[in-house]
Structures are given as structure tokens and as C-alpha cells.
Amino acid sequence: MSGTSRPHPTSPEIFVARQPIFDRRSEVFGYELLFRSSLQNQFAPGTDPETASLSVIAHSFFDLGIDTLIGTGRAFINFARSTLLNEYAYILPRERLVVEVLEDVDPDDDVIAACERLKQSGYLIALDDFNARTSSAGALLDLADIIKIDFATINRYQRAAYARRLIKPGVELLAEKVETRDDFDQAMSFGYSYVQGYFFARPEIRVGKSTPGLKATRMEIMRALSSDDPDLEFIEDQFKRDPSLSYKLLRYVNSAVFALRSPVNTVGRALTYLGQAGVRAFGTVMILADLGTNRPFELVVTSAVRGRFCELIGAEMGFPDRGQDLFLVGLFSLLDALTGQPLAEALAELPLSAMARAALLGEDNAYRRVLMLAEAYERGHWTHAGEIIAQLGLTASAVPSYYLDAVAWGNEIGAIR
């Protein structure tokens, strides 16, 4: 497999997706976590759904570990009235949590007092989906650190008006459902501090501009890595011709991820330690990262997560021998956004199987459906994910652990850039 496998603790069936939140530098500030207890989101009769949701969140944090889900960023978690008043936030670390107060919470005296206590304890407060015409936020506005504005429901002039009205010392705006580069540019020009959405994954095709392709050395590495039996001696020779890749390789192998007793100080030893599967994963991801140096690095992390997830789903479906194929399908699924080229053009020189290439270009086959599952899962589109899981004949309860494995591996890759 393309990464370090890790056992998962026994836990209830927990479905979790994460959506990135970027700062003005297009760096990840945190992730909004979307949880479900099942794909149907059904709870036992008589169970308060708000309490049940919080118990799932708390269990996930302590069972799976916060770093698995959000790396070094902050977790944005929705809080309804009862979860605020029951003070569940205090079981989560204030340095890692943003308490996101849902838009339908009535800001009565009890809610205001609960939020004041959170503020005094060092927690950040965010108001979800603020709307000046319908919101009853009232006194919560005076306690908010971050106010989320839904860009999908308002026009350019309203976006600017919210910024003029709400931004002040100690209060920042977050534009959510930012799906295009124009949305992002507007948010930045109006003074919004954060954006949430998949604008970063939308391709911006560059007309009349050539996009640097892979260096000859890196193309040779890619071709060698795509073979059934990669020649590590040949790959070592190619790595030695590329100081940047060699540096990143040694940094990765000597990182805390592997906790080695003694340092690895040669490219050959590093490649041997990783083995064929590990070298495939590291080499392809790092080469991909360099193709998109002017784009948010989250594109590379998301690509890596998709690759690992697709690979693991393929093994569950009974064709582990195609794991490298599926890994590359996920890994290259955002190549047009990374390079600014049409996808067919970006894929032209890459060593892909016919089935993998067809899946990436939209043809309906088993690989394509695995990729669609990855996309639905990362966005928290649970109904669609459930339909694809059924089509692929997967056991729904097995899927969450694969996603969490993929997210953890993507975080490891992100830590070595």
C-alpha cells in the first residue's frame, strides 16, 4: 500500500468529512468537521439528536485523535443550544476548537452567558450563516470572533456591505461556499479574513500561456514508479540528480512520522526503508506538489487523501493488485486545477493505464465510481456517498476508517513540504 498502514481503534460507526478553511495567504487555518452517526443519520428512538451528535464528536476526538482529523489547524464544530448550555465544548482543547453557533440558536440570557464563559476561557466563537435580514444573533455579535457569511445566497454588493458593517477590531469575517476564484478575490478585496469552499479545486485554464511540464528527470521517476516492479537503483540514480527531491525524501524519512532510532543519511537507505509502495507514494506526491507551486498546498493534500482513499477502497473491493492504478486516479483527479491545463492535456504524458485515464476523463467505470465516492465523502454528501457505497458493494461501516487513514496520511505528506 502507498503509505504507512495504521490500526484503528474499535469505535462506533462514525462518518466524518472535513472542509478546509483558508486564510488570506491561501494557507489552511482549520477545517469544519461534518459528522454523521450513520449514512442515514438516524438515532435511536428517544435520543436527543443534538446530544447524540456531540457524543459522536467527543468520541471521535478522543478515540481517533484530533491530529488525525485536522493536522495542526483548528476544528470548526457546530453547536446548537443544548450543546452550548451543557458545556460540551470544555472537553475539547481551546487551542484547537472554534465553537460555531448555529444560526437558529436564540440568543437568550442563558446562551449569552454560556458564550461569555467560553470567551473568558479562551475559546473562539463563530456565528454560522449570519444574515442581517433573518438573523436574531443580537448580543452574540458582540461576542463573536468570526462571523460566517454565505456567499452562495448574496450578491457582490451585499458581500461588501457586510464587510463594512461587521468588520471591526477583534471581529473577522469568513466567506463560506466560495466556489470560484472570483468569489475568493471578492472576499479578499472586501477585507474578509477567511474563506471556506472548493474554489481551490476548480481549474483555471490558462489561455495562451504554456505551463511548465515535468522535468525530464522527474518524468523518468514517474515512469519508473508506475511499473509493476520499480527499479529502486534506477530511481535512486534519478533522485540524486534532483537535490530538491532528495532533500525532501531525507527530511520525510527522518521525521517524527517514522521515529527512527538512528538517522537515515543517504538517498539509497531512505528508498530502501520506504520500500516500493512507500517510494511510489512519496515520489508521485512530491512531484505533483511542485507542479502546483502557485496554488494552495491543500490541493496536494486533498489529492493525496483521495489517492490513498481510492487505493484502500480498491483493496476492500477485492482488487488490491490495482491499488497503484486507483492511487493515481485519486492523486491526479485535481491535476487540471494544479497545472492550469485542461485535464486531458495535463494527463497526456503521464504513465496511466487505459482504465485509469478513462476514469479521470469522466468515463463511467469502476475506477470512476471509486473517485466519485472520494469526492462525495470529502464534501459530506452522505446520501450520494451511501448510494455509491451500495453500487460498489461495499460495507458502509468499513468506509470511515479508510477515510480517516487517508486523512492521516495526507496530513503526514503535508507536514514535509
pLDDT at 242 over 50: yes
pLDDT band at 238 (very low <50, low <70, confident <90, very high): confident
Under a CB-based contact definition with an 8 Å cutoff, are residues 140 and 107 in contact?
yes
- Looking at per-residue pLDDT, the higher value among 285 and 307 belongs to 307
Residue ending a domain, choose from 174, 201, 228? 201
When pLDDT is cut at 50, 70 and 90, the band that residue 40 belongs to is low
Specify the CATH number for the domain of residue 107.
Answer: 3.20.20.450
279/361 same-domain check: yes
Instruction: For residue 285, give its domain range.
Output: 216-414
pLDDT number for residue 78:
86
Dihedral sign, Cα of residue 282, residue 285, residue 291, residue 295: negative
Q: Are residues 314 and 260 in the same domain?
A: yes
Q: Note whether residue 210 is domain-resident.
A: no
Long-range contacts of 181-190 (CB under 8 A, 24+ apart): 183/151, 186/151, 186/156, 186/159, 186/160, 187/151, 187/159, 188/24, 190/159, 190/160, 190/163
Residue at 88 is within a domain = yes
Tell me: do 226 and 141 sit in the same domain: no
Q: What is the pLDDT of residues 338-394, one digit of tens each?
A: 888 888 988 887 778 899 999 999 999 999 999 999 999 888 888 899 999 999 999
One domain for residues 252 and 379: yes
Give the rounded percent of residues in the chain with a pLDDT score beyond 90.
Answer: 33
CATH of the domain at 392: 1.10.3210.10
User: Do 192 and 305 belong together in one domain?
Assistant: no
* 194 and 242, same domain (yes or no): no
**Prediction pTM value:** 0.81
Return the pLDDT at 102: 85
Residues 135 and 89 occupy one common structural domain: yes
pLDDT for 38: 66
In a domain, 8, yes or no: no
For residue 248, pLDDT over 60 is answered with: yes
| Residue 289, pLDDT score | 74
The predicted-structure confidence for 138-156, as pLDDT tens digits, reads as follows: 778 889 999 999 999 999 9
Residues 246 and 358 in one domain: yes
**Residue 2: per-residue pLDDT:** 44
